[in-house]
Amino acid sequence: MNTNLPTALLDLESHLRETTLLSSTRGLLEWDERTKMPLQGGPYRAEQIALLSGMIHQRASDARIGDWLGELEQLPLAEDRHSLHGCLVQQTRRNYEKAIKLPKSLVEEITRTTVLGQQSWVEAREHDDFAAFAPILEKIVGLKIQQAEALGYDATPYDALLDEYEPGETTSNVTRILADLREQLVPLVAAITDSANQPDSSILTRGYAADQQQQFGSRVAGLVGFDFQRGRLDTTHHPFCTDLGPHDCRITTRYDEGFFPAAFFGILHEAGHGFYELGMPDDWYGLPPGSCTSLGIHESQSRFWENMVGRGRPFWQWCLPLAAEAFPESFADLSVDQVYFAVNSVKPSLIRVEADEVTYNLHIIIRFELEQELISGQLAVSDLPDAWREKYEQYLGITPPNDADGVLQDIHWSGGMFGYFPTYALGNLYAAQFLAAMRAELGNMDQLVEQGDFQPLHDWLAKHIHQHAQRYSAAELVERATGEGLSHLPLVDYLREKLAPLYQLPASSS
């Protein structure tokens, strides 16, 4: 311990570290619930999680934090967010202000209503009954507007909600970028759909026993760089990645024995999240200098490994022999080109989580546009299903046959997570920007991947992204790492460069 540091700093750190011990413990309660807990353990687990959540919220809004920050903000050490202590003070201020701005009654009502909302959503989706879900969704939208008003915003209430997930980003900026992206992707998808050259996706629908997939996925994750001394892979219904300590990152997946890509790319995706979690400074675990700077940046790391690396031709040059070894009957007769084309199959579809690398962004843009309209009051909840169908027709050229596979497909809105969706698309955009910069800096990235030498990629990500944690905002990280601000162009270029040769697209569409 550096005894020259001000007492207020030591007290603040100690307070935050204890809160992190509790929140990581809650993380274990949640991880276990989703991977291991016996069926009937649910109700008591909910009580355990609720108790810890209450304790954590109380600690996050403890008035002493305000006192400590007040003292520290007078000192030079707090001036520079890019320094460890500056980041600690400034980001804790941000978190503290958010915590105290929200009235306890509102927090509790949002929690209560979204729990009911999710239950109602499960029912409504099962019975394809949007009308049954509409009343509580209206209530949730109303509460989220109240939340935005309490938090405050510059231009529009949606800014406040977006800021929860993508700190510092603005609705107007994201709107502009995603509109630009949409204008490029809609014709690209149409050209791909019209192409006579289509992959044989059926080659990835042969048999893959779940335990074989688990072994193979673990092996590849390990070779790609996931450290199983600092993490685990488990099975779950809705895959996720969670960190339970500075050296304890849990990734999860689910296995479809008739469709190889689901678990395999899922594991690469979650491992990408894991690399970020395990790559932030250990000794600041859970505090701002050791926490992710935005969900978009987090998603960029998962998308980078899943798509930019995992769906690349060099990766399959390296990986196909391993796959053929693990699944001789399903892979031994396939060529790299066959697998490469099949894993890059692009096809408009109804369900976001099953969408390919191109159309995925359109699924997100639709949600982003609709949720903004809901929060601004331009769109009534009762008009949502029609608006949804219109956008799917307009952007993807398909018509959802029902609401269950349409507007009811995602859990997010029922859980009050307005402002979350755009971070998925931002992740894709950031990832493409990082890829371009990394490719230029490394010079021989494809050869490295072909040889299974992923360390230089990790080094680049550690240097430009992971180590900085919250010392730089997402926008700053992108600017520093790539020399440019957020832009839709690198993603569009990346997709065109990959897909134009595969689908033999006419020059006009690229």
| From 69, 160, 244, 469, residue interacting with a second copy (rule: CB under 8 A) | 244
| From 157, 217, 231, 422, residue interacting with a second copy (rule: CB under 8 A) | 231
| From 157, 239, 246, 314, residue interacting with a second copy (rule: CB under 8 A) | 246
The whole-angstrom separation of Cα 417 and Cα 214 is: 31
Which of the 8 DSSP states describes residue 110? H
What are the φ and ψ backbone dihedral angles of 119, each rounded to 5 degrees? -65, -45
Q: Choose, from 166, 169, 270, 371, the residue flagged as catalytic.
A: 270
Residue 113: CB atoms within 10 A of its CB come to 19
| From 7, 14, 47, 383, residue interacting with a second copy (rule: CB under 8 A) | 47
- Site stretch for a second copy (CB under 8 A), options 114-122, 243-251, 318-326, 488-496: 243-251
Site size for a second copy (CB under 8 A): 33
The whole-angstrom separation of Cα 440 and Cα 446 is: 11
Range 427-486, binding a second copy (CB under 8 A):
none
The whole-angstrom separation of Cα 181 and Cα 487 is: 9
The structure tokens listed for 371 are 């949720």
57 contributes a contact to a second copy by CB under 8 A: no
Which of the 8 DSSP states describes residue 395? I
- Tell me, yes or no, if 270 is annotated catalytic: yes
3-state DSSP assignment of residue 451: coil
Instruction: Confirm if 481 and 340 have CB atoms less than 8 A apart.
Output: no
* Closer Cβ to a second copy, 41 or 485, answer by number: 41
CB of residue 250 to a second copy, shortest distance in Å: 8
The whole-angstrom separation of Cα 506 and Cα 504 is: 7
40 contributes a contact to a second copy by CB under 8 A: yes
237 contributes a contact to a second copy by CB under 8 A: no
Residues 377, 382, 388, 393, CA torsion sign: negative
CB of residue 240 to a second copy, shortest distance in Å: 16
- Single out the residue of 489, 441, 444, 498 nearest to residue 465, CA to CA: 441
25 contributes a contact to a second copy by CB under 8 A: yes
39 contributes a contact to a second copy by CB under 8 A: yes
| From 22, 99, 116, 442, residue interacting with a second copy (rule: CB under 8 A) | 22
* Closer Cβ to a second copy, 24 or 487, answer by number: 24
> What is the CB-side half-sphere exposure of residue 11 using CA atoms within 13 A?
14
* Closer Cβ to a second copy, 248 or 369, answer by number: 248
Range 283-312, binding a second copy (CB under 8 A):
285
Instruction: Confirm if 273 and 307 have CB atoms less than 8 A apart.
Output: no
Instruction: Confirm if 234 and 252 have CB atoms less than 8 A apart.
Output: yes
210 contributes a contact to a second copy by CB under 8 A: no
Q: Which residues are catalytic?
A: 270
List residues near a second copy by CB under 8 A: 18, 21-22, 24-25, 28-29, 32, 36-41, 43-45, 47-48, 51-52, 228-232, 244-249, 285
